[in-house]
């Protein structure tokens, strides 16, 4: 949960267990008049009940929300709200630009916002998913755990796996950026997501890393919701 006052973030919290008591406790110190909900799963009923009881206007983000860009996606109902929010955040920083948004998390998403038109995007496995896949779909490869320092080329099976996976992700992202810059001379590249800090240090290309891009986008949408 993130709380903004205007464009300034004043508080953020991540809960291990999300229940009614925890939610009531965490919002008890704030007075606000509107909220936006973005979830890839089912939002517990107590969230809307508690917010409504406090007279809070609630916006549930979806492709039907009032957005500052056009969505050209054949199945917009399947477009994750986190990707929509990231695009709104990108627009907030760079309106009317050609933008590639790279979200390096559990999955790596590549979303293309061209002159305020969302052209679509690509999805590939993130680092942890690739590590688990090598372990689960082979007979003898161990489950390698991510660490920032490893031998490349690998001098052990663990480092060989880690080097292959991490370098593969970096090469993939570098090529997406190179191709995007080739096709769009006026461009902005934004990197976000849980693994973005580490990946940013490995890229050949200069990007703008915005860790809070999704929350910035959610606040932008809510601020402009009339």
> Catalytic residue at 82?
yes
* CA–CA–CA angle 199, 200, 203 (5° rounding): 85
Q: State phi, psi for 68 to the nearest 5 degrees.
A: -85, 10
The one catalytic residue among 33, 82, 200, 212: 82
CB count in 10 Å sphere of residue 192: 26
For residue 132, give the 3-state DSSP assignment. helix
CA separation (Å) from 49 to 11, 56, 223? 22, 10, 22
Both tokens of 144, joined, read: 């390698």
- Residues marked as catalytic: 82
């Amino acid at each position: 949960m993130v709380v903004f006052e205007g464009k300034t973030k004043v508080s953020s919290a991540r809960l291990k267990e999300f229940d009614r008591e925890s939610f009531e406790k965490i919002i008890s110190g704030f007075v606000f008049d509107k909220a936006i909900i973005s979830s890839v799963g089912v939002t517990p009923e107590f969230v809307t009940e508690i917010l409504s009881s406090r007279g809070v206007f609630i916006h549930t983000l979806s492709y039907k929300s009032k957005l500052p860009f056009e969505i050209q996606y054949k199945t917009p109902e399947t477009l994750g709200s986190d990707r929509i929010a990231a695009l709104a955040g990108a627009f907030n920083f760079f309106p009317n630009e050609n933008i590639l948004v790279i979200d390096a998390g559990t999955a790596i998403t590549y979303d293309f916002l061209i002159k305020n038109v969302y052209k679509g995007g690509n999805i590939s496995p993130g680092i942890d998913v690739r590590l688990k896949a090598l372990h689960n779909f082979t007979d003898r490869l161990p489950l390698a755990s991510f660490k920032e320092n490893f031998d490349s080329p690998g001098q052990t099976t663990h480092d060989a796996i880690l080097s292959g996976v991490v370098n593969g992700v970096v090469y993939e992202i570098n090529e997406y950026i190179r191709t995007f810059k080739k096709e769009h001379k006026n461009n902005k590249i934004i990197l976000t997501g849980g693994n973005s800090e580490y990946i940013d240090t490995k890229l050949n290309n200069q990007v703008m890393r915005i860790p809070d891009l999704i929350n910035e986008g959610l606040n932008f949408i809510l601020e402009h919701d009339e």
